[in-house]
Amino acid sequence: MSRMPTVAALVGNPNAGKSALFNALTGARQKIANYPGVTVERKAGRLLLPTGEPVELVDLPGSYSLDAASPDEEVTRKVIMGEQEGQVRPDVIVLVLDSSNLEQHLVFAQEVIGLGRPTVVALNMVDLAERDGLVIDPAALESALGVPVIPTVAVRRRGLTELAAAIGEARDRSQEHDAVPRPHVTLPERRMLAHQMADAAIISETAKHRIHARMDKVLLHPWAGPPILFALLFVVFQAVFTWATPFADGLEAAVGVLGDLVRTYIPPSLARDLLTDGVIAGVGSVVVFLPQIVILFFFILTMEATGYMARAAFLMDRMMAGVGLSGRSFIPLLSSFACAIPGIMATRSIADPKDRLTTILIAPMMTCSARLPVYAVIIAAFIPNTKVGPGIGQQGLVLFALYVAGIVGAMVVALVLRSSVTKGAASGFIMELPKYQLPTIKDLAIGLWQRAWIFLRRAGTIIFMVTIALWLLLNFPRAEPGQDQINASVAGTLANGLSVVLEPIGFNRDMSLAIIPAMAAREVAVSSLATTYAVGASDDEDQTAVALGDQLKARWTLPMALSFLAWFVFAPQCLSTIAVARRETNGWKWPAFMLAYLFALAYLAAFATFWTATAMGLG
Ligand SMILES: Nc1nc2c(ncn2[C@@H]2O[C@H](COP(=O)(O)OP(=O)(O)OP(=O)(O)O)[C@@H](O)[C@H]2O)c(=O)[nH]1
Ligand SMILES: [Mg+2]
């Protein structure tokens, strides 16, 4: 047998646990989460059979049918059929079924088995079925489907060896005879058969899942549900501030000490300035937000793992329909709170092209985690840390308001787009609700670690480089004695030019200076301000670092700060988002449109904020 390695593909309904199985079998770290539509691309990994032979295992997006409706389902169909470029047709199909949802998953299963190709069924999530009081007979299912059925629990690594062995056997059988497609069975027939098969395979069923049904009664209640969701999100933003404070203070102190050490032990020179003003002040000012990021992701990951995320989508469906979208757009939009890039990619699970395009266009308005440091630094400097109610801090409230401003802005834009450029009827929304699950500590820890690592890596690479470049542009050419270094520098000259345009929205030179490098990564706005003020202060007598917050307080007025925040709610700040929008819409037309309308919106919002605040006498 000296042929190409065997290829096996994981196929099944969304949320069946394909990626969890993939991770368990190959040691990969694909994203898994408890809602349908997590995986939108194929991903290959290597699995070793019990015989030691390697198999290429492909994880695929979930699918309800071989008649693909959405771009991610299309990937699955193409791979199964061997039409995907750069991917040989799988020799073995590993059909993943959710045992606790058997009847529903058997509908697509029959379609796949009907292809007559070597197939193995992974009867996954048998633990959840048991929890719900279901006992399933794999042998009955095996004889009904005519292919091997292996019970598995992906997240507990149960049944993996048996599954791997079955994959090997199926491959061996396939070499003996060719695929024999079975007679076509229509969808209604498959539905009926699925019902019969599930009935025959389920030995006993007790009504254990009452608690979860009762939870849904409350959480999905048309009146009680939305306030609960709202309250939950509110708690998240309070927590981002209050829980993070001790850790953030500690980190900030550590960065300060580091700067002082360098100042004490290295004689004054440009190189020392680069270290203190560029690296430590600049990059350090971003790194101190690690605790906030971790706390935010703790909540997002928990919502994803417990199954609440899909319920939130369900709750929001009605509101989304009001602006011409559906609950389908909710999860991509919510993912954009982490970063617009995975958010935009997640829109591949939306079938209607215009729904999808609208969602892509508004995704950047969801407050991504890179904006959190910008918001946090300004809020901490300008909004008093007072309580406005029991357990409600004013700072958390303002943060919450900024997130809400982004959401409301996005909804208004969606409404306008859906009645103009992306006109079309709102499509219906059906999403199966996943089972409630407690998140496993290990998965949560891995998820948080990955997030923290991404954040730190950004600080160490892109933010670091942009900050250094900015430091150079701020320091050259050198100022004449008595002249202001920043005004003399290349960066200062550019910023002074730009501030003519930005003056009407209350931006001073330093703010204008901060928003350009922030196009690389939004956190850079913070590091640029820190570096600018550190460079500006270098000539002063006092060499000790002044915390960025104090610098801001001394140099900005409240209306200026609010205007800066308003700008960051809407402005298209990161080039990677534009690049992904180009890829997902196949051209420059829509990203250009996105860029233009977001800039216009940001300018208007900052303008209105600045002048309203000024008129209110806040300056
Ligand atoms: N209890 C239990 N949970 C599981 C099992 N397999 C997967 N899960 C959980 O089920 C959820 C869905 O798993 P995924 O692997 O993301 O599902 P998927 O089939 O890849 O979903 P899509 O990518 O959306 O098609 C996650 O929360 C997993 O932790 C299992 O055998 N038992
Ligand atoms: Mg997946």
- Ligand that comes closest to the CA of residue 346: 1
- Read off the pTM: 0.89
Atom 13 in ligand 1: which residue has the minimum CA distance? Answer: 17
What number does the ligand 1 atom closest to the CA of 152 have? 31
**Residue-wise pLDDT tens digits, 515-566:** 989 988 899 999 999 999 988 876 554 445 578 888 999 999 999 999 999 9
Q: Return the best residue to mutate from 22, 23, 32 for the ligand 1 pocket (most ligand atoms within 8 A of CB).
A: 32
The whole-angstrom separation of Cα 538 and Cα 551 is: 13
Q: Which residues line ligand 1 at a C-beta cut-off of 6 Å?
A: 14-20, 32-34, 36-39, 61-62, 124-125, 127-128, 153-155, 305, 437
Query: How far is ligand 1, taken at its centre, from the CA of residue 365, in Å?
Result: 29
Q: How far apart are CA 592 and CA 316, in angstroms?
A: 29
Q: Which helix (H) or strand (E) holds 123?
A: strand 119-124
CA–CA dist 513, 467 (Å, integer): 12
Other Cβ atoms within 10 Å of 465 Cβ, number: 15
- Please choose from 35, 99, 155 the residue to mutate so as to test ligand 1's pocket, defined by most ligand atoms within 8 A of CB: 155
Instruction: Give me the pLDDT at residue 143, please.
Output: 94
**Ligand 2 centroid – CA 459 distance (Å):** 29
How much is the pLDDT for 389?
Answer: 84
Instruction: State in Å: Cα 318 to ligand 2 middle.
Output: 27
Which atom of ligand 1 is least distant from the CA of 124?
31
Is beta strand 54-59 parallel, antiparallel or unpaired with respect to 6-12?
parallel
* Cβ proximity of 239 and 299 under 8 Å: yes
Q: What pLDDT does 505 receive?
A: 96
23, 25, 34, best to mutate for ligand 1 pocket (most atoms within 8 Å of CB): 34
Q: Which ligand is nearest to the CA of 11?
A: 1
Angle separating helix axes 589-615 and 394-418, nearest 10 degrees: 130
CB contact set of 172 (below 8 Å; sequence gap of 6+): none
Q: Which helix (H) or strand (E) holds 95?
A: strand 92-98
Strand-pair partners of 236 = none
Q: Which atom of ligand 1 is nearest to the CA of 31?
A: 16
pLDDT of residue 483: 84
Q: Is the peptide bond before 477 cis (omega within 30 degrees of 0)?
A: yes
Q: Please state, in angstroms and rounded to a whole number, the distance separating the CA atoms of residues 247 and 245.
A: 6
Give pLDDT, residue 182: 81
**Cα 31 to middle of ligand 1, angstroms:** 10
Nearest ligand to the CA atom of 159: 1
Atom 11 in ligand 1: which residue has the minimum CA distance?
A: 34
- Residue 544 has a pLDDT of 52
In the predicted structure, residue 385 carries a pLDDT above the cut 60: yes
For 336-476, strand residue ranges (E) read: 387-389, 392-393
Cβ atoms of 499 and 508 within 8 Å: the answer is yes
Q: Which amino acid is at 89?
A: R
Is residue 17 a contact partner of residue 24, using CB atoms and an 8 Å limit?
no
Centre of ligand 2 to C-alpha 568, Å, is 33
Quick one: which atom of ligand 1 is closest to the CA of 131?
A: 1
Query: Of all atoms in ligand 1, which is nearest to the CA of residue 32?
Result: 16
User: What's the 594 CA to ligand 1 centre distance in angstroms?
Assistant: 34
Q: What is the pLDDT of residues 327-337, one digit of tens each?
A: 889 889 988 99
pLDDT for 95-153, tens place per residue?
999 999 999 999 999 999 999 999 999 999 999 998 888 899 999 999 999 999 999 99
Residues 6+ apart with CB under 8 A from 499: 507, 508, 509, 512
pLDDT tens for each residue of 38-71: 999 999 999 999 999 999 999 999 999 999 889 9
Instruction: Give the residue among 282, 258, 261 at the shortest CA–CA distance from 535.
Output: 282
Q: How far, in Å, from the CA of 89 to the mean position of ligand 1? A: 25
- pLDDT of res. 1: 45
CA of 119 to the centre of ligand 2 (A): 19
User: Residue 76 CA: which ligand is closest?
Assistant: 1
Mean of per-residue pLDDT scores for the chain: 91
Closest protein CA for atom 8 of ligand 1: 17
Cα 241 to ligand 1 centroid, rounded to whole Å: 32
Nearest-atom index, ligand 1, CA of 125: 31
Q: How far apart are CA 455 and CA 472, in angstroms?
A: 24
Mutate to test the pocket of ligand 1, among 15, 65, 345 (most ligand atoms within 8 A of CB): 15
- How much is the pLDDT for 344? 95
Look at ligand 1, atom 7, and give the residue with the nearest C-alpha.
17
In this prediction, what percent of the chain has a pLDDT beyond 70?
Answer: 97
Locate 377 and state its tokens: 């630094």
In the three-class reduction of DSSP (H, G, I as helix; E, B as strand; rest coil), residue 102 is classed as helix
Q: Is the peptide bond before 504 cis (omega within 30 degrees of 0)?
A: no
What sign for the dihedral angle of Cα 85, 90, 93, 97? negative
Helices within 114-224 (DSSP H only): 126-131, 138-145, 160-176, 187-201, 210-219
- Distance from residue 140's CA to the centre of ligand 2 (Å): 27
Question: Helix (H, G, I), strand (E, B), or coil: what is residue 497?
Answer: helix
Q: Are 340 and 365 in contact (CB under 8 A)?
A: no
- pLDDT at 2 (0 to 100): 44
Residue 181 has phi, psi (to 5 degrees) of: -60, 140
Give the distance (Å) from ligand 1 centre to CA of residue 92.
21
> What spacing in Å lies between the alpha carbon of 307 and ligand 2's midpoint?
15
Domains of the chain with bracketed CATH: 7-205 (3.40.50.300), 207-366 (no CATH), 369-386+484-618 (no CATH)
The pLDDT score that the predictor gives to residue 540 is 54
Q: For a pocket test of ligand 1, which of 11, 13, 19 has the largest count of ligand atoms closer than 8 A to its C-beta?
A: 19
pLDDT digits (tens, 9 = 90+) for 167-195: 999 998 877 766 677 888 899 999 999 99
> What distance in angstroms lies between residue 98's CA and the mean position of ligand 1's atoms?
9
pLDDT at 208: 62
Ligand 1 atom at minimum distance from 14 CA: 25
- Encode pLDDT of 567-617 as tens digits: 999 998 788 999 999 999 999 999 999 999 999 999 999 999 999 999 998
Helices 464-475 and 524-537: crossing angle in degrees, nearest 10, is 30
pLDDT tens string 356-378: 999 999 999 999 999 999 999 99
pLDDT tens for each residue of 190-201: 999 999 999 999
Q: How many angstroms separate the Cα of 410 from the Cα of each of 359, 471, 604?
A: 9, 35, 15
Residue entry with tokens 């309580």: 387
pLDDT score of 432: 79
- Sign of the C-alpha dihedral computed for residues 53, 59, 62 and 67 taken in this order: negative
Helices 575-585, 589-615: crossing angle, 10 deg rounding: 140
Closest CA to 431 of 96, 25, 118, 34: 34
Ligand 1 atom closest to 20 (CA):
15
What's the CA gap between 475 and 478, in Å, rounded? 6
Residue 31: helix, strand or coil by DSSP? coil
Give the ligand whose atoms come closest to the C-alpha of residue 122. 1
Region 384-392: mean pLDDT is 86
